Structure 1
Amino acid sequence: MLDQTPSKTRPAAAPSDHPALPRPKVGILLANLGTPDGTDYWSMRRYLGEFLSDKRVIDYPSWKWQPILQLIVLSKRPFSSGEAYRSIWNEEADESPLMTITKAQIAKIRTQVHEAFGDAVMVDFCMRYGNPSTASKVREMVAAGCEKILFFPLYPQYAGATTATANDQFFRALMDEKWQPATRTVPPYFENPLYIDALAASIERKYAELEMRPDILLCSYHGLPKRYLMEGDPYHCQCQKTTRLLKERLGWDDTQIMTTFQSKFGPEEWLKPYTVEEVARQAKAGNKRIAVCAPAFSADCIETLEEINEEIRESFEEAGGEDFTYVPCLNDDDAHITALTSVIADNLAGWLVPQTA
């Protein structure tokens, strides 16, 4: 929902029949991956069909991939994916945890942004796949008077399959606007000190709750085909640097933390080591207590709540592991919101000046 309905005025010296225009504003549109509208077969099929048809996600030729997707994948996968979503679904709100958390994040960001810049800004969110769509939110912002829009994909590390496809969809939405707003896109923020501090603080808090310290922390990032790295995608390097910066902030050595990758899909080799295999290897090597965090996700979702906390945990325990700890994503933690708001403020430079106290 947009912040408020802006008042409309007729431009100075305009003829009497000139339509009234809304007061100019700057829009801040944050974007995340997306979520199905429900856990039933058709809701899941629509969502997965949109997601898995994205050329940034799976770049096989359409003539080869679409028959497989439509006739095989989308005949079976909606059932298993629906079951996975049902295990984490927010029944009270009838929505996925990603949607619930994103709404909470936006409410807090909106408050901080308005405190800094007043009512000259409008804050909202969209999803790359599913609802609310990017196009619908761009349309609402333009109609409400946003002559400038800052578009913020909520991915700390850049990847073509996440940041780039979100930007693609934003630019496609702009193509339908008669009067396009001036736009900026927010670059990856994996090096931002406030983000690293928030990540470290969340791990320190979790460790303080445990009776025994984990033997190792796995930083599990969503995976990509290794081929994407070879073709120039910087994601792998940015993930490795995130782990290094986190390690330095925590004051740990290399034996206490490592980078792994999850969510492999299809027959290709993906970035390694695979989290699901590494947790089993750690257990067999004698590390019976491990912790897993997910620095690539700004909010808990199916990949963290179901894949990490259920499937990957099971792999660890079946290999002889004893204590598995999942460190939740930063979600709407105040330190995380402050970090995101700081990134927004930096990227508004030249457009808006913060209000003086």
Structure 2
Amino acid sequence: MPAIGPLPSGHPPVKARKIGVLLVNLGTPDGTSYAPMRRYLKEFLSDKRVIEWPRAAWFPILYGIVLNTRPKKSGKAYDIIWNRERNESPLRTFTRAQGEKLGQRMAGEPNVVVDWGMRYGNPSIAERIDALQEAGCERILVYPLYPQYSASTTATVNDKTFEHLMTKRWMPALRTVPAYHDEPVYIDALARSIEKHLATLDFEPERVIASYHGIPQSYFRKGDPYHCHCQKTSRLLEERLGWPKGRLMTTFQSRFGPEEWLQPYTDKTIEELAKQGVKRIAALNPGFVSDCLETLEEIAGEAAEIFLHNGGERFAHIPCLNDSEEGMDVIEAMVRRELRGWID
């Protein structure tokens, strides 16, 4: 074997070996106007993990109808919750804060570099992996920010990560954080957050709705464990809170298209509770790590309106864990567990 000669002129120096942690959330448009909304929706709804229909059947609908009508409607919804101070969606604000606070908590590990990105939109997974490599990271832990696993969420983050690594001559070693729907630290954080928020209310909810993002029933029948993960989260949470069975109700929101989705539906359940005479409820979103369109506009806004319009009197939305101390306890615990063997 021939001897290896000196490095070519201009070859970049080898950086100190570091370990990267990349928090990845679903994604966000860059603005609420038509163009950025269409760009975001195109990327999101073109993902085969999200819409599993044959491309020949789905693309004419996507490009002929959805991308011509939905950007304007979605833009109006985003505009209601938009963070005008930073000119960005709350999801980006909270995900950035989670990355920054995790970096502070990991400051005692000098070789760990923390970053954050989005599956759809900016900053992209590819961009941030490149940035971590440029910072000298030879090992990277990718953290899909979804407590309950679904192919349409966790798997597509991993897909995109590996897809980008396929372009690399020198690939970093990679780990991914698994679902943590039943981890004691996560259940305890949810329970503490609920208890703290309910203590601030001037009424006691008769029912508390745990609303998870839905998936089509067909995905569940194909073996997606998401429904089971959601049900287990709710059961463990109810036990941790010491509530009688039935006070915490599991529902599913955000259905799209003509297929049957996981049931019971959140909007229908809330409407029915009001019609049955329930006057006071609270709602939370255990499947969302950060408040976003689906929690702030769909639940805190639309669901509250449905309940009050049909006879309910008091409605409270319990925020997601976001970058709270409880939320950061979960993220830090999961990261430290998955970094075992890479850090002392």
Alignment TM class, shorter chain as reference: over 0.9
Q: Residue 253 of structure 2 corresponds to which residue in structure 1?
A: 262
List alignment gaps of at least 5 residues for structure 2: none
> Is the contact between residue 210 and residue 283 of structure 2 (CA under 8 Å) also seen in structure 1?
yes
Residue aligned with 2:199, SS = helix
Distance in 2 (CA, whole Å) between partners of 1:92 and 1:19 is 39
Say whether 1:35 aligns with 2:28.
yes
Distance in 2 (CA, whole Å) between partners of 1:39 and 1:210 is 33
* Aligned partner (choices 30, 51, 66) of residue 73 of structure 1: 66
TM value normalised by structure 1:
0.93
Distance in 2 (CA, whole Å) between partners of 1:216 and 1:185 is 36
Distance in 2 (CA, whole Å) between partners of 1:195 and 1:336 is 8
Q: Residue 188 of structure 2 corresponds to which residue in structure 1?
A: 197
Counterparts of residues 291-306 of structure 1 (less than 5 Å): 291-306=282-297
Q: Residue 97 of structure 1 corresponds to which residue in structure 2?
A: 90
What amino acid is the match of 1:329? C
Q: Residue 131 of structure 2 corresponds to which residue in structure 1?
A: 140
Say whether 1:253 aligns with 2:244.
yes
Distance in 2 (CA, whole Å) between partners of 1:236 and 1:100 is 28
What amino acid is the match of 2:221? M
Moved over 3 A (4+): 13-19
Q: Residue 51 of structure 2 corresponds to which residue in structure 1?
A: 58
Q: Residue 3 of structure 1 corresponds to which residue in structure 2?
A: none
**Per-residue deviation, 1:143:** 2.0
Q: Residue 337 of structure 1 corresponds to which residue in structure 2?
A: 328
Say whether 1:221 aligns with 2:221.
no
The percent identity for this pair of structures is 54
Say whether 1:284 aligns with 2:275.
yes
What amino acid is the match of 1:43? P
Give the length in aligned residue pairs: 339
Alignment RMSD? 1.2
List alignment gaps of at least 5 residues for structure 1: 1-12
Distance in 1 (CA, whole Å) between partners of 2:75 and 2:246 is 38
> Is the contact between residue 193 and residue 326 of structure 2 (CA under 8 Å) also seen in structure 1?
no
Distance in 2 (CA, whole Å) between partners of 1:347 and 1:202 is 24
Distance in 1 (CA, whole Å) between partners of 2:196 and 2:342 is 37
**Per-residue deviation, 1:19:** 4.1
Distance in 2 (CA, whole Å) between partners of 1:235 and 1:223 is 9
Say whether 1:346 aligns with 2:316.
no
Change (3 A) 1:210 1:19: closer
TM value normalised by structure 2:
0.96
Distance in 1 (CA, whole Å) between partners of 2:85 and 2:202 is 33
Distance in 2 (CA, whole Å) between partners of 1:338 and 1:218 is 24
Residue aligned with 1:23, SS = coil
